[in-house]
């Protein structure tokens, strides 16, 4: 957006996009033109930035940003009545969300140019909406369905009978395998694989017999899937990703899992088969979720946490050991090996004290 737009026009656009959920007030020159976004430390006079954490108030005083989104508390702390303010201030209870809508408006994703490029392969039995685009090297197999304004990037693959809804984008090299379904406005980044076989094998005489994975992956609307993330199809029945879920890069979702609406998972999370993650959950990077368990709606899981049992009550759960030097870790690990023995000695001392003993050897 080379010409940019006035702050008051930008604010109106944000208000419409947020359906009135982000009340705000403007302080300063509402006619200033904004052309892009940048961090507080590097923003220029035609750029928008935001302050969401009071710890970074110091950066506001030094910022050259043309407009800054911040809370009422931060504005009052930084700019008491009568203070000279260089930037236009946008006061909002949720600056980060306001900034996100504004950034979308300032850097819009253009609609794809409709058509099937030379070098793309679209099978005769496939259905591609006339408003969609299929780039060179992409493959759309027989029975697959591509909705209006979709983009199938170079080298992306849509398997037999797979479906993607309106405005969904498959980045170059993304894979949506046979019979899998993605709703509207989805984003699948490069290297992601939707519908790979689940890890299902039956033991027999020291060997392993493969169990056919006959289910699908069914993904709702407004779901984003990061680069090189893999979502296994169900063994029997479907793996389900509900509306609004956001998955980071390098996540593994096992067969027959369900991830509830509007949950967000950071990079390198691993989820074993048949786990049921509730709605509105937040799971930190590298957390490991065991199979056949449930996590309550609204639960927060810290990074690096092992979830080995069902979480029935929402809360903030962590399970990692604090960082320390390797020498200290080895000493603590050595002590941990004797924890069971120490527990027995403590119980014996407690029993002696209860019986009237002194507890002395």
* Coil/strand/helix, residue 164: strand
In the block, tokens 């029997």 appear at: 236
Compute the distance between CA of residue 114 and CA of residue 135 in angstroms, rounded to an integer. Answer: 10
The answer to whether 27 is a known catalytic residue is no
Q: How far apart are CA 7 and CA 27, in angstroms?
A: 11
Which residues, 6 or more positions from 46, have their beta carbon under 8 angstroms from its beta carbon?
A: 4, 33, 34, 35, 36, 66
Q: 3-class SS at 178?
A: coil
Cβ proximity of 203 and 185 under 8 Å: no
Q: Cβ(87)–Cβ(63) under 8 Å? A: yes
* DSSP code at position 79: S
Whole-angstrom CA distances from 26 to 12, 127, 183, 189, 332 are 11, 48, 37, 37, 55
Residue with tokens 């296994």: 232
Task: Give the span between the Cα atoms of 303 and 328, in whole angstroms.
Answer: 22
Q: Which of 27, 171, 255, 292 is catalytic?
A: 255
Q: How many of the other CB atoms lie within 10 Å of CB of 269?
A: 24
Q: Phi first, then psi: what are they for 146, rounded to 5°? A: -115, 120
Q: Indicate which residues carry an active-site annotation.
A: 255
């Amino acid at each position: 957006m080379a010409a940019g737009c006035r702050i008051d026009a930008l604010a109106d656009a944000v208000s419409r996009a947020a359906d009135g959920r982000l009340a705000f007030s403007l302080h300063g020159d509402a006619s200033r033109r904004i052309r892009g976004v940048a961090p507080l430390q590097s923003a220029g006079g035609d750029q928008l930035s935001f302050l969401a954490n009071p710890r970074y108030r110091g950066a506001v005083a030094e910022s050259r940003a043309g407009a800054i989104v911040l809370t009422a508390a931060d504005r009052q702390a930084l700019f008491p009545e009568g203070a000279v303010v260089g930037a236009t201030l946008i006061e909002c209870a949720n600056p980060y969300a306001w900034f996100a809508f504004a950034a979308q408006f300032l850097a819009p994703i253009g609609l794809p140019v409709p058509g099937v490029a030379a070098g793309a392969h679209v099978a005769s039995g496939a259905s591609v909406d006339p408003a969609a685009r299929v780039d060179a090297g992409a493959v759309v197999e027989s029975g697959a369905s591509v909705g209006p304004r979709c983009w199938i990037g170079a080298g992306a693959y849509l398997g037999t009978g797979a479906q993607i809804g309106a405005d969904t984008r498959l980045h170059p090299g993304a894979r949506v395998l046979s019979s899998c379904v993605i709703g509207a406005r989805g984003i699948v980044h490069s290297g992601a694989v939707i519908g790979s076989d689940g890890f299902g094998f039956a033991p027999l005489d020291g060997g392993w017999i493969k169990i056919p994975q006959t289910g699908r992956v069914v993904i709702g609307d407004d779901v984003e899937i990061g680069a090189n993330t893999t979502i296994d199809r169900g063994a029997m029945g479907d793996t389900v990703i509900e509306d609004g879920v956001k998955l980071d890069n390098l996540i593994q979702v096992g067969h027959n899992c369900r991830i509830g609406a509007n949950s967000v998972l950071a990079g390198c999370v691993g989820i074993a088969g048949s786990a049921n993650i509730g709605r509105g959950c937040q799971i930190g990077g590298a957390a490991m979720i065991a199979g056949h368990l449930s996590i309550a709606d609204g639960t927060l899981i810290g990074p690096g946490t092992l979830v080995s049992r069902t979480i029935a009550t929402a809360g903030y759960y962590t399970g990692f050991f604090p960082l320390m030097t390797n020498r200290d870790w080895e000493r603590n690990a050595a002590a941990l090996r004797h924890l069971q023995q120490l527990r027995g000695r403590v119980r014996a001392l407690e029993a002696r004290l209860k019986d009237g003993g002194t507890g002395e050897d």
